[in-house]
Chain A
Amino acid sequence: MKEWLAGQKALFVLNFINDDRWRYLTDGLVLTLEITFFALILGLTIGIIIAIIRATHDNAYETMSPGPGKVILKLLNIVSKVYLTVIRGTPVVVQLLIMYYIIFATSNNKIIVAVLAFGINSGAYVAEIVRSGIMSIDKGQMEAGRSLGFNYVQTMTGIIIPQAFKNVLPALANEFITLLKETSVSGYIALQDLTKGAYIIIGRTYSAFMPLIAIALIYLILVMFFTWLVGRLERRLRSSDH
């Protein structure tokens, strides 16, 4: 028993203490959070815009009078549909590699490439979530907003989206957690995120157990923490309209 403990301690020192190897994990964690955060912002922005385009098309296209507005809406809707199909129909790793090796072949800012790839990917899922939220709002809300003199976009952003958001918050939280975990493939474009950090340690120490368990625990704690945070936010939002 004592020997076993001593062995574990030696492994711990080897994997994390020697040469300050713990820094691969902390630096990696910071990068993982950075990529996740900015990809989340980008994904939400893209997602909300695409959701508004899709919902507007589904609700209003039929009744719109002919004109340039109608043509533009049709085109935007087609572009949105292609985007959704392509992004949701291909693996995120492949999208990341295409972004790095083909689209941004001349750029060497890998973090921006990763944020773009993960953000554009997440946007597709956010779009469908937010769209279902918009569709769940009674159409009387839009009519009330318009009858007060708000234009379409003001009503959408000031009245419809906030309510839709509240309805789909659990689904969005899931999407965020998925995004956080998906960034673990960032190592494919040689970014040193949390997962890659563990990989590098293993490469130095030839000992896989502790680094892998360590990052698994870190991901798990992060996910549990964010789940708790979203739960609190949800309760606060719900208490505002009882």
Chain B
Amino acid sequence: MTTENNVLIEVKDLEKHFKKSTVKALNGVDVKINKGDVVVVIGPSGSGKSTFLRCLNLLEVPTGGHIWFEGQEITDKKNNINKMRQKMGMVFQSFNLFPHKSVRENITMAPVKLGIMKKEEANRRAEELLQRVGLPDKIDAYPNNLSGGQKQRIAIVRALAMNPDVMLFDEPTSALDPEMIGEVLDVMKELARDGMTMVVVTHEMGFAKEVATRVIFMEDGRILAENTPREFFENPENERLRSFLSKVL
């Protein structure tokens, strides 16, 4: 069904060995992510989920293997990583909004300074995106005056403002009070429905079941299982996955 030119990200033999660490955080990860995929990554703490995600945009530099994004090798030093990152949005557990800048500046700073958009166009885009996530009235607020759920929705908007081809999420709801998780997941679900390619590390199994096109289970720096959500949750073949699911479901 999927043809080669549908592949957005390809990962081969990915390894990451942190200095001063005795074991490899990633130990041979192979995966293909197609356009429009919503890939959810789950696994126990320390299994390498964040490291995998952060290697995709080179926030962590792999110690082995290769990653291609839109046909260009990210892990090749000759390629301009800054240019490639413009097309890969990232959302962090701890939001990482810029506290000294207003919501508007947080959103428009990158597109304007990096020459993607004129200031007016970026402003319009910010307003439109804020409307979509239900926060149009916060455009002139400062991050420190917002709730966690609002901050995360704005962090998502900040990444979207660059018109990325893929969005990477590292436990976007883990730092939130329970009553705010829903509002962030709703935004992510809408994004998925609109066809955004997403890679999401999360403990929200409901999200995985509802919107994932594929679910990946990691342990000890490897992918142990990978399937459609239905097969993944209803017929888990892997023994370790079964034991993990029995703990989290």
Contacts and interface: CB of A to CB of B under 8 A. Distances in A.
Contacts, number: 71
Contacts of B97: 144
Contact of B92 (A65, A140, A241): A140
Nearest to B106: A144
Interface in A136-165: 138, 140-141, 143-151, 154, 158-159, 162-163
Contacts of B57: 147
B88 A147 contact: yes
A18 interface: no
B100 A144 contact: no
Contacts of B162: 148-149
B133 interface: no
B155 to A, nearest CB: 8
A163 B100 contact: yes
B96 A144 contact: yes
A62 B19 contact: yes
Contact of B85 (A141, A147, A158, A166): A147
B86 interface: yes
A154 B158 CA distance: 17
Nearest to A143: B59
B99 A146 contact: no
B142 A240 contact: yes
Contacts of B59: 143, 146-147
A217 B190 CA distance: 67
Contact of A241 (B89, B99, B109, B110): B99
A150 B82 contact: yes
B99 A154 contact: no
B192 interface: no
6 contacts: A140-B96, A146-B82, A147-B90, A148-B110, A149-B82, A163-B99
Given A63-B19, A150-B114, 10 more contacts: A143-B59, A144-B97, A147-B57, A147-B85, A148-B110, A149-B83, A149-B114, A150-B113, A158-B113, A242-B142
